[in-house]
Amino acid sequence: MEIIKDQETMEARIRELGAEITAIYKDQPLTMLVVMNGGLFFGAKLAEAIAVEDFFIDSISASSYKHHSSTGNVELRSFMKLDVKGRHLLILDEVLDTGRTLKKIKEKLLDQGALSVKTVVLVEKTIPRPEGIDHADWAGFLMEDRYLIGCGMDSDEKYRNLPYIAAF
């Protein structure tokens, strides 16, 4: 296993992202929608770094992966509890890979009346995304296409809890 981003580097970047997001949303309510399970760890750290007074957190369960490979289909297993209509939403996921998951969630939120929908990921892979969103609105790190673990990224649900980003 090779450590790509150590804990200190990662946490410093998350604080920077929090400051950038705070600057945009400081005077308006913001709802962060965490894509589970991968977004859990990054979401908790980023939530601490966002200083917006009217700040809400909700979650969604979505997946397009099975045993290390994309299935090509995005499955929404559960949707947010809060009403979407009239909200500024920030979809948070740990990694932007094919972009299909974030695209499907974003389209659904806009269809349901969200005022705005932005995306934030810890890692954006530098690959073409012909069927997904091209880029996240905010990305912690741009990385080549490798199988990553840690800070929410997993291998069959293992390694999500690592406080750094690593590759096999």
Q: At what angle do helices 7-25 and 39-49 cross, to 10 degrees?
A: 60
Phi-psi region of 122 (alpha: psi -120 to 50; beta: other; left: phi over 0): alpha
User: What's the rounded Cα separation, in Å, for the pair 114 and 47?
Assistant: 20
Catalytic residue among 54, 97, 137, 145: 97
The pTM assigned to this predicted structure is: 0.91
**pLDDT score for 64:** 66
**Residue 54 catalytic?**
no
Range of the domain at 98: 2-167
To 5 degrees, how large is the angle CA 78–CA 166–CA 126? 75
User: What's the rounded Cα separation, in Å, for the pair 136 and 134?
Assistant: 7
Which of 1-5, 60-64, 75-79: highest mean pLDDT? 1-5
**pLDDT score for 70:** 56
Query: CA dist 84 to 109, 121, 134, 161, Å?
Result: 7, 20, 24, 30
Is pLDDT above 90 for 76? no
Q: Per-residue pLDDT averaged across 127-137, rounded? A: 94
Instruction: Calculate what percentage of the chain has a pLDDT beyond 70.
Output: 93
Q: Per-residue pLDDT averaged across 34-47, rounded? A: 95
Is pLDDT above 70 for 29? yes
Mean pLDDT, all residues of the chain: 92
Which CATH number covers residue 134? 3.40.50.2020
How many domains, in total, are found in the chain? 1
Q: Is 138 exposed, middle or buried (0-12, 13-18, 19+ CB in 10 A)?
A: buried
**pLDDT score for 72:** 67
Cβ atoms 154, 126 nearer than 8 A? no
Q: Which residues contact 70 (CB under 8 A, 6 or more apart)?
A: 64, 97, 98, 100
**pLDDT score for 77:** 67
